[in-house]
Amino acid sequence: MSEVVPADRLLDGLNPQQREAVTYRGPALLIVAGAGSGKTRVLTHRIAGLIAAHEAWPSQILAITFTNKAAAEMRERAESLMGSVAEGMWISTFHSACVRILRREAENFGFTKNFTIYDSHDSRTLIKRIIKAQEAEEYGCSVSGVAGRISKIKNELADPDSFARTVNESDPNELAFLAVFREYQRSLQAANAFDFDDLIGQTVYLFRAFPHVADVYRKKFRHILIDEYQDTNHAQYALIHELTRETEDGLPGASLTVVGDSDQSIYSFRGADIRNIAEFERDFPGATVILLEQNYRSTQTILSAANAVIANNFDRKDKSLWTDVGAGEKIVGFTGYSAHDEAQFVVDEIGALHAQGMGYSQISVFYRTNAQTRALEEIFIRSALPYRLIGGTKFYERAEIKDALAYLISIVNPVDALAVRRILNTPKRGLGPAAEAQLQNFAEVNGVSVREALRSADSLGFGPKAVRAIADLSSLLDEATALADGGAVAEVLQLLMQKTGYLDQLRTSKDPQDEARAENVDELIAVTKEFAKNHPEGTLTDFLTEVSLVAAADEIDDVSGSVSLMTMHTAKGLEYDAVFITGVEEELLPHRMAAMEPGGPAEERRLFYVGITRARQRLFLSLAMTRALFGQTGSAAPSRYLQEIPAELIEWKEQAGIAGGWGDAPSRSLGRSGGWGDEGGWSSLAPARPKTEWANRVTNQIRDNGDLTLQVGDRIMHVDFGEGTVMDVTGVDTKRVAHVRFDQAGPKKLLIKIAPIEKI
C-alpha cells in the first residue's frame, strides 16, 4: 500500500478547476465532470481533504457510487491517500447503503432484519403467479408490462394506495393492474422482502414516516457525495433530500456534493431523470457549480469524434472536452458482411494490438444488446483469445444457483414464500403443484408461513410418501437453521446441498448440462468460503445481501489478462486503452425500441458518446451488413451517428485480410460522403461481391479435433480461411493453439480442439 499523502500535498498535480472542486466548502456543490476529467480523483481528494483538516470524521462521510466496483475502487484510492481511517466511511451504491439502513431499522415498520432482496427475476416470478391467480391476462396484464409499470410507479415513490387515487375507476384494465400491484406489494410484505425499487423507496418512506429515525442518519452523515448524479431517479433524489434536511432539533443539513455529466445520462429507461442535475442549483439553494472540461484520458481524435457526435443533441449545455496529449491514431472503421465477419475483424485487430504489446485486459469490446455476444464469443473461442463476458446471463441468475440460494433464504427468512416454494420440490421429492397448493392453502387458512405449514404435514391428508418427504425437508431445514446460528455459511450450504441430494442428482444426471450445473454449485460453495475468509463475522444474511447486489461491472478483474466484452451501459465509468464499438447500425444503435420513443435517439446518442469516451488510445467502430434477429437474417444499415463523426477522423477498412477483396478500392470508403447515403442502405454495395467469398460461413457444428496433433510446418485446410501453414503450436491439452499463416487470409491463431480445420 502506498504512503499516506500529507494534507498539504493533496492538491499536487490537480488543475485549477479540480483544486476548486476539492477545496470548495459550502452547503451544495455540483461538479459537472466531462468524461475522463478526473472526477474520481477529485472526489477522493475532496474526502481526504475533509478528514485531514479535521472537518469530518470518516464515519460522517457517505459516498454513493454507481457500482460496487466503483465503490471498492474509491475506497482503495481513499485509503492510499489517508490510510486505514477510510474504513469508517460509507462508500457504496444507493442500493447497498439502503440495505444497510433497512436492516438496522426494519423492525420499525413491520419487517425483520433478515428480509430477502428480490431481484428483477424474483419480482417477475411473483408477478407471474399473481397474474395467473387473478386471471389478469384478460385485462392486458403481461408480466413484463406489469413489472415495468410497477417499477416506474415505485421510482416515483407511489404505493398502491396513492396510485389508486390516480386510476380511472371505469377502466377494467386499470383496475386489474391495480389489483395485481396491491397483491404484489402485500406478498412482498408478507414474505419480509423488498424488491430493488423498494430498497430505495421504502428507505424514503421510513425516513418520512419516522423522523426520529431519519435524524439519526442526518446527524451521522455530515458530508454526502454522489457520483453519476445524472442517472439518479426520483426516489434516489428524494432520499438525498431526506438525508440533507435540517434535523428536528435544528442541526443544519449535511453538505452535499454531486458529480455528473448530463451528456452521459443513459438510464432514463429505469427512471433516471436528467432534470435532477439540470435543476440542481434550483433544488439546493446556495449551490455552486464547477466545470471540469479537461480530459486526461483520450487522444484528441477520439475526443473530437465524441464532441462531434454529442453536439447533435440540441437541448444540452454546450460543453467541449479537450486534451493536450495530441491527436493520436485515427479511428478505425470496418464494415463486415455478417456479425461473424465483424467479430473476425475485432479478433484480428486485437491480435495485432496484442502483438504490439497491449495487454488483453486493456482492451474492451462494447455492444448495444447482450444478444450480440453470440457471434463475438464464437470467433473469440475459435481464435483462442482470452476474453470475459461482463454481465449478460449472470452467475447468480442461473437456476441452480437460485435453487441453492433459495435454501439459504429459507433458513434466514422462513416467511419468504417464494424461496420455500422454490425448494419444496427441488430436487424432485414428489411434491408437485397439488402438494404446493395444499400447503399454501393451509398456511393461509391458519395464518402461518409455508415453512410452518411443513411441520403440520401429517394433519393435511397427504399420502405417506409425501408426509415423509415433507418431514425430511422440514427437519433438514431445522438442522441447517441451528447450524446457521454459528454463522458458518459454507457449512450450512454444504449440508443442504448434500443432504437434499441436490448435488448428487446433478452429478449423476444424464443431461450433459447438469455437470456444469454441479460445478456452478461447487463454485457457489467456494464463494461462501471466500466470503467467510473476507468477513469472519459475516452472517448468512450478509452473504445473501452481497450476492443480491452484485452489479455486472463488479465482475471485472483487471489482472485476469482477458479482453472484456460488455454492453455500453455496463461500460459507463470504465476506461480502456483500446475500445471496439460493434454493431454501429440503425435498429441497433439507436435501437429500434428507442428510435420511436421521445428522447430515445438522443439518449442512444449519449450512449454512443459514453462508448467512444471510454477509449484512451485506440477506437474501432464496426458494423455488419446483415445481422440475425430471432434467428432470421436481415439486412442492416449504418447508424446515423456514424455520419456525425467527421470523415477525416476515421480510416475505413471494409474487409480486412481477405484475398480478392476491396483492398484496391479505397474510393468505396464509407465515410460521411462515402458509399451510402440518401438512396441508402447496402443495395449498391451488397451485390458487388458474391457472398461465398466472405469469411463469415461459420458452421454451427461442434467440432472436436481433440486428438489432432499438429506440428510446425504442417499444411492445414480451414473452412473459412482456406489453406495455411502451421507456424507454431502452443498451450497444452484441450487448450492447444495453432499459429497458422494462411495463404490468403494471413496469420491467425486457432484453438486446435474446435477449429474447423483438417490436416492435408
Partner DNA sequence: ACCGAGAAATTTTTT
Partner DNA sequence: ATTTCTCGGT
Identify whether 39 is a catalytic site residue. yes
CB nearer DNA, residue 120 or residue 481: 120
Instruction: Encode 100-130: b = buried (16+ Cβ within 10 Å), e = exposed.
Output: ebbbebbeeeebeebbbbbbeebbebbbebb
Beginning with the edge strand found earlier in the chain, give each strand of the sheet holding 90-93 in spatial order: 90-93, 61-65, 223-226, 255-260, 28-33, 288-292
Residues near DNA (CB under 7 A): 66-67, 93-95, 119-120, 128, 142, 144, 196-197, 266-267, 269-270, 368-371, 391, 425, 428-435, 466, 549, 551-553, 566-567, 569-570, 591-594, 597, 628-631, 700
Q: Which of 105, 228, 349, 720 does the annotation list as catalytic? A: 228
Identify whether 264 is a catalytic site residue. yes
**Nearest approach, Cβ of 7 to DNA (angstroms)?**
33
Angle at 360 between CA 358 and CA 363, to 5 degrees: 85
* 427: preceding bond cis by omega (within 30 degrees): yes
Phi and psi angles of residue 45, each rounded to the nearest 5 degrees, phi first: -70, -35
Q: Which of 40, 189, 481, 744 does the annotation list as catalytic? A: 40
Answer for the pair 742, 724: CB distance below 8 angstroms, yes or no.
Answer: yes
DSSP category for residue 663: T
Exposed (0-12), middle (13-18) or buried (19+): which is 538, by Cβ within 10 Å?
middle
Answer for the pair 493, 499: CB distance below 8 angstroms, yes or no.
Answer: no
Question: Which is it for the CA torsion 175, 181, 185, 186, positive or negative?
Answer: positive
Q: Which of 18, 39, 545, 613 does the annotation list as catalytic? A: 39
Identify whether 416 is a catalytic site residue. no
**Nearest approach, Cβ of 437 to DNA (angstroms)?**
9
**Nearest approach, Cβ of 645 to DNA (angstroms)?**
21
- For 285, residues 6+ apart whose C-beta sits below 8 A from its C-beta are 28
Q: Which of 79, 227, 585, 604 does the annotation list as catalytic? A: 227
Grid cell for residue 403: 435453487
Give the DSSP H or E segment for 199: helix 196-209
**Nearest approach, Cβ of 603 to DNA (angstroms)?**
7
Rounded-to-integer distance, Cα 261 and Cα 34, Å: 6
Pairing of strands 757-759, 563-567: unpaired
Grid cell for residue 249: 432539533
Answer for the pair 431, 469: CB distance below 8 angstroms, yes or no.
Answer: yes
**Nearest approach, Cβ of 513 to DNA (angstroms)?**
9
Identify whether 228 is a catalytic site residue. yes
Q: Which of 517, 614, 618, 736 does the annotation list as catalytic? A: 614
DSSP category for residue 27: S
Rounded-to-integer distance, Cα 670 and Cα 584, Å: 13
* 590: preceding bond cis by omega (within 30 degrees): yes
Rounded-to-integer distance, Cα 265 and Cα 232, Å: 9
CA 97 to chain centre: 18
- For 528, residues 6+ apart whose C-beta sits below 8 A from its C-beta are 489, 490, 493, 543
CB nearer DNA, residue 586 or residue 654: 586
Beta strands in 375-427 (DSSP E): 387-389
CB nearer DNA, residue 78 or residue 435: 435
Could you give the residue ranges of the DSSP H alpha helices within 447-486?
A: 450-453, 464-484
Grid cell for residue 546: 452481497
Rounded-to-integer distance, Cα 197 and Cα 513, Å: 34
- For 551, residues 6+ apart whose C-beta sits below 8 A from its C-beta are 66, 67, 68, 69, 93
Over its C-alpha atoms, the chain yields an Rg (Å, rounded) of 28
CB nearer DNA, residue 140 or residue 486: 140
Identify whether 614 is a catalytic site residue. yes
Q: Any idea which residues carry the catalytic annotation?
A: 39-40, 227-228, 264, 614
